Structure 1
């Protein structure tokens, strides 16, 4: 069988597979910066985290205070995997610390890219 129009064949296969370009959803940020950024936050006060994308993580603290960490560089797959680990010998997580993206690989999690943290910016809910 000879293919006379390979470009048409490729386009047909792409359309048949349902592959389409990803369209970014612009959702408004529910938070605004409030006050000066700090270098460290106490680990025992971290209640949860919300990975916003490959460069931003919101740390939800006890008392519902939120600190946003904007990494100095993007961290590959952080926004997709939305999970990470860290190690520190201190009781604080600081801007000099490194996080490691955790990949879901079969029966367990595997380490992915390691990336440095930035400063922790206090945030508050944006006015409606």
Structure 2
């Protein structure tokens, strides 16, 4: 994990591998800030949807010591939303470097719509 300093505070930036390992152990809450349409087409198993369009930091779930990690398609929107959290409540927040694109490039499992059947299924890009 690396750390960035923004105008609003310290922001942790996690790799897809770090997110995958922590998510599998139940150590983080992963929140997808993409649109509902993007989430429907492909998503990370276990991620919650909280679209950027209506994103308000005060509505994030309370986690105690459990970190919240945001993600999007490329890392741009999640970085912006994480900085917004810092500006709104000065709390700890992280985002995933490279977003869904980096997750897929790393060969990690994700749920996608099978174009032949229209059903969601777990897949990975090897």
Normalised TM-score (structure 2):
0.23
Larger fraction in helix? 2
Larger fraction in strand? 1
Between Structure 1 and Structure 2, whose CA radius of gyration is higher?
Answer: 1
